[in-house]
Amino acid sequence: MMDGELERCEAEDRDKFESYLERIIDDQLEEGETNPIKYYKNHNYELALENINNISFSTADNPFFKSQFAKYYPEAIVIGSTGEILAHITPKNTESLKFKNLEFVENFRDEKLRINDDKKVKMNLKDFSDDEGIIIIFLVKTFDNRKEKPDEAAYA
């Protein structure tokens, strides 16, 4: 690809794909015909964290005043290379059976340093080394606090 073949390959792929799209639009695809662009197994890392073993993803509510009800929480979804959900970590599902170091943790800071509820999802990257195609999605979600009434005196 470094000797100028990249442009030729891209042009060929573009022509094949445009032809494929035209046949889809005209409803002329042959039985079993699929997208001509194939994505093969990548033998290179998209992201390599060589010297990092542990990662955590945390949330905390408003740091400027203490709220009575927690609002935000982290969530993690681990998806395997074939698209199946391997783990879903939430405040209700705090541990994973497949990944022993993947867990949801609350109130992890020192009490004197912590103003509001702290929550995090922590993991050890070595747990995911068996499958090269694992995707980890981190989400920040909110609890539904619409039914709960705050104590007005707490804001004073």
Task: Kindly report, residue by residue over 110-132, the tens digit of the pLDDT.
Answer: 666 555 567 888 888 888 877 77
Tell me, yes or no, whether 35 and 93 share the same domain: no
Looking at the structure, do residues 19 and 70 belong to the same domain, yes or no? no
So what's the pLDDT on residue 49? 61
Instruction: Tell me whether residue 148 is in a domain.
Output: yes
Residues 107 and 62 both lie in one domain: yes
Q: What is the domain range of residue 137?
A: 54-155
144 and 117 belong to one structural domain? yes
Same domain, 97 and 144: yes
Between the two ends of the chain, the Cα-to-Cα distance in Å is 67
Helix ranges (DSSP H) in the chain: 5-25, 152-155
Q: What's the pLDDT at 44?
A: 64
5-49 pLDDT, tens digit each? 878 888 888 899 899 888 888 888 888 888 888 777 767 656 666
- CA atoms lying within 13 Å on the CB side of residue 123: 27
Same domain assignment for residues 62 and 85: yes
**The two three-digit tokens of residue 45, written as one number:** 């890392």
Q: What is the domain count for the chain?
A: 2
Closest CA relative to residue 61, chosen from 52, 53, 70: 70
CB atoms within 10 A of CB 14: 11
